[in-house]
Structure 1
Amino acid sequence: MSFSSIFSEKRHSKESSSSISSGHSILPKSLVDYIHSVTNHSPGYPTVPFQVVSDLHLELTDTVHGNRGYFEYNIAQNCPYLILAGDIGTLNQPDNYLAFLRRHCEAFEKVFLVLGNHEFYGTSRREGLANLKLFFEDPVIAEKLVVLNRNRYDIPGTKLTILGCTLQSEIRPEQRGLIESKLNDFRVIKDWKVDDHNAEHSIDIAWLRDQIEEIAETEPDRRVFVATHHAPSFKKTSAPQHEDSPLNSAFCTGILEGGAFRGWKGKDMIKAWVFGHTHWCCDVMISGVRVVSNQRGYWYENTVRADYKEDLVLEV
């Protein structure tokens, strides 16, 4: 859900497994073809390319077009790795969602999926995750899909680690009543209340901090790439008119500008952070971290972003 859609005229409303690489494998040829050395890393640290998209909202396309969005929307491969940063579709349509994921797993060497809030529309988190777990009975999914639900993945043959989670935001007490009344999440996700949302935020934050500090302690020469659905900053991650919205704590978490982040051991290892959820595309520097989003948006509201590029490649 975007900020603008909440206040606009009403229209159509509407734990997984992943493989952990040892980091010692030989690079696949297709990845070598896309790797380039850069001057802002130590010698021997090549960059790794990722295609990044989010907020495709295929479930809404299907509302009008007869369940064709999952089957007809294709992301052309421009590099070996694809990151889907949440709100791709809904897990209460498992056959449709699986078809989309399988097609793209066949095209890419790895597909990294972050779970957004819309993934659980029409179901509960428990039921949605159970459906997602069944996807791994498909051999293509089992080989190619990595679900970043508080998971770490080390890119083989490199010193790059991906850390991913939803990063539920922390809804502020003074905004709670308005957010509860405006956001569909608390009506269409079963057994999901603000207290549940905020509890997941605390777990996500603690997991992310612990992972980064552990890497800093045990593998200080690594680089870290973070992928979340909710935004890691209130600044520059949504349309300027929404930065001070009374709903902003449902969309963003001020990690990168927060005092606590400055105390995280290993924070300087974070080289890039991708996110979704705000329906705003950006490529900005915040607290020394490159923050990138490439969000399609709601097609039926004519808010598909003109700056959304399905072939966008981020080198980390």
Structure 2
Amino acid sequence: MKIQYCSDLHLEFPDNRTWLDQNPLVPKADLLIIAGDTYHLGRDFDKHPYFDVLSHAFEQVFLIPGNHEYYSGYNVENSEGEMDIALRHNVHLVNNKELVIEDTHLIFTTLWSRIQKEPWEVLRGLLDFQRIQFRGKLLSLDTYNYLHDHALLFLKNALKNKETKKQVVITHHLPSHFCNVEEFRNSPLNEGFCVDLTSLIEASSADVWIYGHSHRNVPKFEINGTRMLTNQLGYVGLEEHQTFNREAWVQV
């Protein structure tokens, strides 16, 4: 199976939308996967015209919510269970969901991260705790960690499913410290972006792991045979898009 992939398109910013209008994705596969931070969830999410663009360009599109999807008041508790929202007939927003297409098992989850070492730095510095609501209240540290624990349980159970020949995992948050760039590794906010599941990846049968979130594109590498891939647009206004690849794809 051939999969095209990207993340962190951030359509909520006019600079990003303008850039994508002028520099559209170049279809190289029938299936496109977007690993989070596409657009804020809310009343007009499914009406965004970019989903029409994607629907016409690809046979199938699956996107997962990142953290920014919840920045406009859409309650993050809606992501506790399985999510599958049809934005177009062939464009679906999915979370904590497994799909089998041809001979490939696809596992989708935001993942989140787990904050333990420097919680007060993260609480002060991460916008998630100022913008995301859970059951009518601003996100707390305990709830944030609960969301990760819930996603991780789903992920571990899904990885045990070996009925298909191939397995692809899609998360928004970074699943290993090896996915992080040097400039961020000593940041007090690091735990809000990355959770180190290296040992889980090493023990898994995953062929490919696609991730986003950091707005930094680490060259592809492997963890015990699992290809780790990212292709993030980031904030165009901050020049974070320089290494974005409009044609990135992988053969599974």
TM category (shorter chain) comes to 0.7 to 0.9
Q: Distance in 2 between matches of 1:54 and 1:72?
A: 18
Count residues in correspondence: 244
1:227 paired residue number: 170
1:171 correspondence with 2:124 = no
Task: State the Cα deviation string for residues 33-81 of structure 1 (Å, max 9, x = none).
Answer: xxxxxxxxxxxxxxx111111111111226xx9x867877732322101
RMSD (CA atoms): 2.6
Q: Name which of structure 1's ranges 222-231 and 240-249 shifts more when overlaid on structure 2.
A: 240-249
Q: How far apart, in 1, do the equivalents of 2:19 and 2:71 lie?
A: 17
Question: Is 1:80 the counterpart of 2:23 in the alignment?
Answer: no
**Is residue 105–residue 144 contact of structure 1 (8 Å, CA) maintained in 2?**
yes
Do 2:84 and 2:93's aligned partners in 1 also have CA atoms closer than 8 Å?
no
Per the alignment, residue 284 of structure 1 pairs with: 221
User: Would the aligned equivalents of 2:76 and 2:132 in 1 still touch at CA under 8 Å?
Assistant: no
Aligned to 1:301: 238
The verdict on how the C-alpha distance between 1:207 and 1:70 changes in structure 2, with shifts beyond 3 A counting, is same
Write the distance in 2 (CA, Å) between the matches of 1:134 and 1:293.
23
Structure 1 residue 51 corresponds to structure 2 residue 1:
no
| Equivalence for 2:105 | 161
* Identity score, percent: 27
Asked whether 1:254 is paired with 2:196, we answer yes
Q: CA deviation at 1:95?
A: 4.9
Distance 2:78 2:41 in 1: 5
Q: Give the aligned partner of residue 60 of structure 1.
A: 13
Residue type at the aligned position of 1:212: L
Q: Is it true that 1:145 corresponds to 2:81 in the alignment?
A: no
Higher strand share: 2
Query: Aligned partner of 1:255: which letter?
Result: L
Change (3 A) 1:212 1:98: same
Q: Partners in 2 of 1:135 and 1:93 — Cα distance?
A: 13
Equivalent residue number for residue 23 of structure 1:
none
For 1:180, the equivalent position in structure 2 comes to 123
Tell whether the 8 Å contact from 1:70 to 1:99 is kept in structure 2 after alignment.
no
Post-superposition shift, 1:206? 0.6
Distance 1:135 1:201, change over 3 A: closer
Q: Structure 1 or 2: larger helix share?
A: 1
Q: Provide the residue aligned with 2:184 in structure 1.
A: 242
Structure-2 residue corresponding to 1:98: 48
Aligned residue type for 1:169: S
Deviation string 1:106-130 (CA, Å, 9 cap, x unpaired) is 221110101100111121335977x
Do 2:107 and 2:170's aligned partners in 1 also have CA atoms closer than 8 Å? Answer: yes
Secondary structure, counterpart of 2:207 in structure 1: strand
Aligned to 2:69: 119
Check whether the contact 2:126–2:189 (CA below 8 A) recurs between aligned residues: no
- Cα 1:301–1:94 shift into 2, 3 Å: same
2:70–2:76 Cα contact (<8 Å) kept:
no
Shift of 1:303: 2.3
The worse-fitting range, judged by mean Cα deviation, of 94-103 and 73-82 is 94-103
Query: Which of 155, 171, 175 is the matching residue for 1:208?
Result: 155
Name structure 1 gaps, 5 residues minimum: 1-47
- The whole-number CA distance in structure 2 between the counterparts of 1:135 and 1:224 is 22
TM-score (norm 1): 0.70
The code of the aligned residue for 2:184 comes to: H
Q: Give the drift of 1:290.
A: 0.7
CA deviation after TM superposition for structure 1 residue 252, in Å? 0.8
Contact 2:19 2:236 in 1 (8 A): no
Report deviation, 1:99. 2.0
| Structure 1 outlier segments of 4+, above 4 Å | 67-73, 126-129
Contact 2:122 2:189 in 1 (8 A): yes
* C-alpha deviation, 1:98, in angstroms: 3.2
Counterpart of 2:145 in structure 1 is 198
CA–CA separation in structure 2 for the residues paired with 1:100 and 1:245:
34
